[in-house]
Amino acid sequence: MAKQNTVFKDAYNRCLKVLAETSSLPSEPELGQVLGVSRTTVRAILGRFEEAKLITWDKRKKIVLRQPQPEDYFPTEETDSLAEIIERSFMRRILAGGAEPGMQINELELAREIGTGTTSVREFLIRFSRFGLIEKRPNSHWILKGFTREFALELTEVREMFELRSAASFVALPDSHSAWQELNKIEALHREILADIDNRYQEFSELDERFHLLVHKSSSNRFIVDFYDVISIVFHYHYQWNKTNARQRNARALEEHLAYIEALRSHDPKRAEEACRRHLRSARETLLQSIP
């Protein structure tokens, strides 16, 4: 087949939720807005809704006939884009499966294992190469450089430079800047999770990304913001992979974040720098401990 219709399936599932809360659906362009897809896809969804007797559809009248049932949804495996599938599959291989640094990566073999064409794998590898974990030998294979101690040290060195710079920009933001509101929301979530840490400590990973990304964004520098992708993917898979002492580690990080947030709010560059350094130091330790 030429293209997976994952955009359609994912939007279809999300549209089912919209449908569940109303008795008649809005106009096609409006639905497109809500779902983030083009009218072509919206019309395909409406057509399928009609076939499934979920609605009647006559021009502007889209009347809901029944509530969606679990079996109306497409299975979630079918809604992931190919890029996501390849990424997950690849990360599992290089992090979990004992992948030695220096190992060769074979596009064809990877494609066969994942059950996809070579072009998609190739494009993934090109995109992924900016994370510094693989390297291309032209006209030949890719080489896995591996998730090593050196990698972690190089990554954190740059991260520390960038985050210190960003924190310095953050304290200088005017009070009217929307970042302060977002910071308030993030702080509130920190307190909520800390209050029920035993049950909710897994929510830290996502919150961590949200917080640090907010800080990086205040640098207004695309290279700094883009670099956060590297940090993000590393920590994302790292959290999935290494769960020892997760509750305790996360609790500690949450406390550090709170101190860091308070320091940012003080508008005092010195305090912010200090709190930032303290947190980054312990984040680095945590990362390094998980590497053999």
d(CA 14, CA 12): 5
User: Taking a C-beta distance cutoff of 8 angstroms, is the pair 154, 267 a contact?
Assistant: no
Please provide residue 135's backbone torsions phi and psi, each rounded to the nearest 5 degrees.
Answer: -145, 145
Taking the C-alpha atoms of residue 63 and residue 129, their distance in angstroms, rounded to an integer, is: 49
Out of DNA, a copy of itself, none, what residue 132 binds, judged by CB under 5 to 8 A for its kind, is a copy of itself
* Chain position carrying tokens 């057509």: 47
Q: Does 168 bind a copy of itself (CB under 8 A)?
A: no
Task: Sketch the per residue contact string, 8 through 47, with DNA: x for CB under 7 A, - otherwise.
Answer: x-----------------xxxxx------xxxxx-xx---
Residue 56 binds which of DNA, a copy of itself, none (CB < 5-8 A, kind-dependent): none
The tokens describing 76, both together, are: 């979630």
Residue 56 binding a copy of itself, by CB under 8 A = no
Residue carrying the six token digits 């079918």: 78
Q: Which is nearer to DNA, 127 or 210 (CB)?
A: 127
> CA dihedral in degrees (250, 256, 257, 262; nearest 10)?
160
Q: Pick from 104, 184, 220, 289: which binds a copy of itself (CB under 8 A)? A: 220
Provide, rounded to whole angstroms, the least separation between the CB of residue 187 and a copy of itself: 28
- Angstrom distance (rounded) from CA 143 to CA 152: 18
| Separation between Cα atoms, residue 166 and residue 218, nearest integer Å | 6
Q: Is the separation of the CB atoms in 133 and 147 below 8 Å?
A: yes
Q: Which stretch binds a copy of itself (CB under 8 A): 11-19, 71-79, 85-93, 216-224?
A: 216-224
Q: From the list a copy of itself, DNA, none, which binds 230 (C-beta under 5 to 8 Å, kind-based)?
A: a copy of itself
- Per the CB < 8 A criterion, the answer to whether 61 and 24 are in contact is yes
Sites for a copy of itself among residues 71-110 (CB under 8 A): none
**Total number of residues binding a copy of itself (CB under 8 A)?**
25
CB of 7 to a copy of itself, least distance (A): 6
Residue 82 touches which member of a copy of itself, DNA, none, C-beta under 5-8 Å by kind: DNA
Q: Which of 26, 68, 132, 269 binds a copy of itself (CB under 8 A)?
A: 132
Count how many Cα atoms sit within 13 Å of the Cα of residue 136 in the half-sphere of its side chain. Answer: 13
Interface with DNA by CB under 7 A: which residues? 1-8, 26-30, 37-41, 43-44, 59-60, 62, 81-83, 105-109, 116-120, 122-123, 136-142
